[in-house]
Amino acid sequence: MDFIKELQSFKTIVEEGTFTRAAAKLNYAQSTVTNHIKKLENELEVALFLEGKSNVLTLEGELLKQEVPELIAHWERVKEQLINASHTVEYSLRMGILHPYDILVLPALLHDFSQHYPKINFEIVVGSTLELANALNENRIDFALCSLPHEKHFAYEELFQEELCCITSISNPLIINELADLEGSHLYRSKSDCPARTKIESYLDNQVPSIHWESVSNISTIPYLIERTGYCSLIPRSIIEQTHARVKIVSLPLPDPHMSIGLLSKHPLMLSPSITKNFVVELKMRLLSLL
């Protein structure tokens, strides 16, 4: 807090006798200490030092000199109480998340966050966008990281655009240069309520009607199946980048290869408790660092 820094600068000037020695003790530039005093005088609407005599206090400065130690000490007590409260408060954080983001960000995030809030209890639901939207409607979670559902009554904050990529086996690849080359091919797709599947089907069913679809419930399994079978699929790039399967991305012209990923909630997350807002900030930072 700037006000506390300003008070600390004032207190140190009084103790050290000059602005120069106060700046040296606080490890500030002298201009910083000078600015602190100017701001403090503006906020209090009084002069604290006699004009032209930086080491002589005005009457108002003398009054502040008497009060400032207790003001700073009171702030330190409040800060300590807040820190202690963050370590003792019991709180349940309920969230939903799409795969593979649960694997990519949650392990380290939950560990680090629980170090600061030891009494926090995480309730995590991993599912499809439809499943997470239903969990929100049923009040089983408070927010979710997912794509934008068809229902319009949710609050949604887009964080990034996930790219869908076509992959095939490295050892037994399909030759694919355009959508027509998928004619008669076997393609893996995820379960019916997966946003990636919905998007893929929206522009493949009409253009390549003779595809042989193979459905897989866990989308992260698809690269490993492709490695062995030589089939292909269109799946999110984030899954491809975290797989150990021997697959490769095929350049394929797609009409719109991106889908929105963001935070879904019943109400704007800015209205959430402070612990939830702090968690959301950390979640955003870690997700964006992956891009």
Give the range of the structural domain holding residue 197, as residue numbers without chain letter. Answer: 162-258
Question: Do 193 and 50 lie in a common domain?
Answer: no
Question: Do 41 and 122 lie in a common domain?
Answer: no
**pLDDT single digits (tens) 178-219:** 888 888 888 888 877 677 787 777 777 777 778 888 888 888
Question: Do 234 and 221 lie in a common domain?
Answer: yes
Question: Do 253 and 191 lie in a common domain?
Answer: yes
Q: Percentage of the chain with pLDDT > 70? A: 96
Residue 83's pLDDT band, with cuts at 50, 70 and 90, is: low
**pLDDT single digits (tens) 24-43:** 988 899 899 999 989 988 98
Question: Do 62 and 41 lie in a common domain?
Answer: yes
pLDDT at 209: 75
**Distance of alpha carbon 201 from alpha carbon 148, whole angstroms:** 17
For the cut 90, the answer to whether the pLDDT of residue 275 exceeds it is no
Burial zone of 90 (CB within 10 Å; 0-12 exposed, 13-18 middle, 19+ buried): exposed
Domain edge (last residue) among 42, 57, 87:
87
Question: Do 135 and 274 lie in a common domain?
Answer: yes
Question: Do 214 and 266 lie in a common domain?
Answer: no
pLDDT at 89: 64
Residue 274's pLDDT band, with cuts at 50, 70 and 90, is: confident
Question: Do 135 and 77 lie in a common domain?
Answer: no
List the CATH number of the domain containing 15: 1.10.10.10
**pLDDT single digits (tens) 216-255:** 888 889 999 999 998 988 888 988 888 889 999 988 887 7
Question: Do 76 and 214 lie in a common domain?
Answer: no
Interior angle at CA 201, CA 137 and CA 265, nearest 5: 20
Name every residue whose Cβ is closer than 8 Å to that of residue 2 and which is 6 or more positions away in sequence: 39
**Distance of alpha carbon 116 from alpha carbon 83, whole angstroms:** 9
For the cut 70, the answer to whether the pLDDT of residue 135 exceeds it is yes
Structure-token pair, residue 244: 């150990």
pLDDT at 88: 63
Question: Do 154 and 267 lie in a common domain?
Answer: yes
Name every residue whose Cβ is closer than 8 Å to that of residue 100 and which is 6 or more positions away in sequence: 219, 220, 236, 238, 239, 242
Residue 272's pLDDT band, with cuts at 50, 70 and 90, is: confident
pLDDT at 84: 63
pLDDT at 281: 92
Question: Do 56 and 25 lie in a common domain?
Answer: yes
Domain edge (last residue) among 87, 117, 136:
87
More confident residue, 58 or 91: 58
Question: Do 22 and 67 lie in a common domain?
Answer: yes
Q: Residue range 121-146: average pLDDT?
A: 93
Which one, of 22, 42, 18, lies nearest residue 32 by Cα?
22
Considering its fold, how many domains does the chain have in total? 3
List the CATH number of the domain containing 252: 3.40.190.10
